[in-house]
Structure 1
Amino acid sequence: MEKGVATVATVADGLPPSFRTGNCRPEGRITPIFVLETTVRYMVSASVVVPARDEGARLEATLDSLSAQRFDGDLDLEVIVVASGTETIAAAREHAVVDRVLCDESGSRSDEFGDGPEKTALGPARARNRGAKQASGDVLCFTDADTVVPPTWVRDHCRHYRNATVVGVGGPLEPLEPGLRHRVCFRLLSDWWYRLSWPLGFVQQPGPNCSVRRTAFERVGGFDESLPFLEDTDLSLRLRREGEGIYDRECAVRTSVRRQEREGYGRLFLTYARGYLAYLLPGRSPPATYF
């Protein structure tokens, strides 16, 4: 991935002050200069965490896209699926690209109604945190089980972490299914909205297309499992305290439009708007019915 060229010069003792760049003939005698050029590769380890709840049919396409990732050999990649549902667990275990399957049969749904102090809301935050805890990568990439990523997705995310100040990366979403209405609405709501909001400080790394530096993720405590909704926005805003977030408009993924078709873009937009307001107001958080 990142390559640096290190030049090592060994100069014999007694090189006189009259030596000038490009002139290896100082007065009196020739002093040899031996130059060794070597390429230094900076290895990056990345882990992809995929939460999958009853997604057996769709998960295979997601994993196929991860198995098609292209990089230069200086990237160590692992894939972790946090799966619930018999069909989903089987699909994850059977796919060659998956390094580890974490079974989550208890699910967040039952935890939502629990009586214990660690009650968890309905949402993917719990599964993402569980996968991240088991991951070994320096960079944690997150996508969803109904999402297809391009062949350079991991590489495109990881290249931003050459800059030590970068702690998170997000990119746009595109519709997996065809249709002009979907393309236009996704461009407005899942691309241009991010382009406008990020410079204003309202950073949002979308869950199906985001990555974080592991050390920063651990410092902020990962995803907030009490949030059933906007857990990716919440993480992005907390990460701002740790460093820089990058919105890579060229690093798009394609994700399912089934929720948009089920609820409609207008209703979904109002749901998100109300959710943002509830999140931003002190002491408020979106209810579980928003997810």
Structure 2
Amino acid sequence: MISIVVPTYNEEQNIERCLRSLADQTVPRETYEIIVVDGNSKDRTRELAEPLADRVFIQTSKRVGGARNDGAMAASGEIVATTDADCILPRDWVERIERTFAERDIVQLYGTVYPIEGGFRNKLSLLGANIFSRLGYYTRTIYFTLGCNTAFDRDAFLRAGMYRCIDAGDDLEIAQRMRKLGKVYLDTGLAVGFSMRRYQQFGTLKSILEWFYIVLRGGDAGGVSYSQREYK
């Protein structure tokens, strides 16, 4: 079984779209589970998620990495996949993850992203991210794994110590520990729809610079407000 963990916080505008895409997969619904881990939302996120998910509960660990860890600890599957509440998953996402783990001796799988919103600037922004992801993978330097499109062998994930509960860069850092336990594999065809709302509302350059600033500080945001942002 594959367990899919979706962290949420005030996502009533997006959570149904995300979960409906997860419910509409090419494999039978009973062969995978959906776990929503909520950061104590003040809107209707949990209410909307309940009919579409197998489990919905409030996280006890800190930050988005902690929410993913809480979901992994509650998971029944041998494979734990993670995505974000504002993403749209392709119909073969679960099937492709399942097949890749069956065919390859890997501990972590990750893919690419494309913008849900249109526009040349959005496409260019994610083109750069996908190029960086490929360069890091093929040069075996930095595995640019995104929490919105990754999957783990659950036992290896637990042995690695799971995600660090930091403000940003947790999905990049985990791959550096996972690679010590086995192969981390990039499937460029495993692509999910990624919301560009942060970049549209707060600016692309500013958001990228804030992310790098936090990563260079070891995941500590300092005075930068990066996580649990309020979106219009």
Closer, same or farther: CA 75–67 of 1 in aligned 2, 3 Å: closer
| Structure with more relative contact order (C-alpha pairs < 8 Å, separation 6 or more) | 2
Task: Tell me, in whole angstroms, the C-alpha distance in 1 between the residues paired with 2:207 and 2:13.
Answer: 25
The amino acid of 1:230's aligned partner reads G
Spell out the pairing of 1:199-210 with structure 2 (5 A cutoff). 199-200=138-139, 201-210=141-150
Task: Tell me, in whole angstroms, the C-alpha distance in 2 between the residues paired with 1:99 and 1:234.
Answer: 29
Return 82-91 or 270-279, whichever deviates more: 270-279
Equivalent residue number for residue 88 of structure 1: 45
Q: Which of 120, 138, 143 is matched with 1:180 structurally?
A: 120
TM-score, normalized by length of structure 2? Answer: 0.89
Equivalent residue number for residue 239 of structure 1: 178
Equivalent residue number for residue 251 of structure 1: 190
Kept in 2: contact 1:275–1:286 (CA 8 A): yes
| Moved beyond 4 Å, runs of 4+ | none
Task: Tell me, in whole angstroms, the C-alpha distance in 2 between the residues paired with 1:168 and 1:251.
Answer: 13
Task: Tell me, in whole angstroms, the C-alpha distance in 1 between the residues paired with 2:56 and 2:86.
Answer: 17
Return the offset for 1:187. Answer: 1.2
SS of residue in 1 equivalent to 2:193: strand
Return the offset for 1:221. Answer: 1.4
Matched, 1:134 2:134: no
Instruction: State the identity as a percent.
Output: 29
Kept in 2: contact 1:46–1:75 (CA 8 A): no
The amino acid of 2:37's aligned partner reads V
Equivalent residue number for residue 211 of structure 1: 151
The superposition leaves residues 153-203 of structure 1 with CA deviations (integer Å, 9 ceiling, x where unpaired) of 1111222212463000111111111111111211112x1110011223211
Matched, 1:171 2:128: no
SS of residue in 2 equivalent to 1:147: coil
Equivalent residue number for residue 99 of structure 1: 54
Task: Tell me, in whole angstroms, the C-alpha distance in 2 between the residues paired with 1:250 and 1:164.
Answer: 15
Q: Which of 213, 218, 229 is matched with 1:274 structurally?
A: 213
Equivalent residue number for residue 7 of structure 2: 51
Task: Tell me, in whole angstroms, the C-alpha distance in 2 between the residues paired with 1:236 and 1:69.
Answer: 27
Task: Tell me, in whole angstroms, the C-alpha distance in 1 between the residues paired with 2:80 and 2:8.
Answer: 17
**Larger CA Rg, structure 1 vs 2:** 1
Q: Give 5+ residue unaligned stretches, structure 1.
A: 1-44, 109-119, 280-284
Return the offset for 1:101. Answer: 0.9
SS of residue in 1 equivalent to 2:57: strand
Kept in 2: contact 1:204–1:237 (CA 8 A): no
Task: Tell me, in whole angstroms, the C-alpha distance in 2 between the residues paired with 1:269 and 1:127.
Answer: 23
Return the offset for 1:149. Answer: 0.4
Q: Give 5+ residue unaligned stretches, structure 2.
A: 228-232
Structure with the largest fraction of strand: 1
TM-score, normalized by length of structure 1? Answer: 0.72
Matched, 1:152 2:72: no
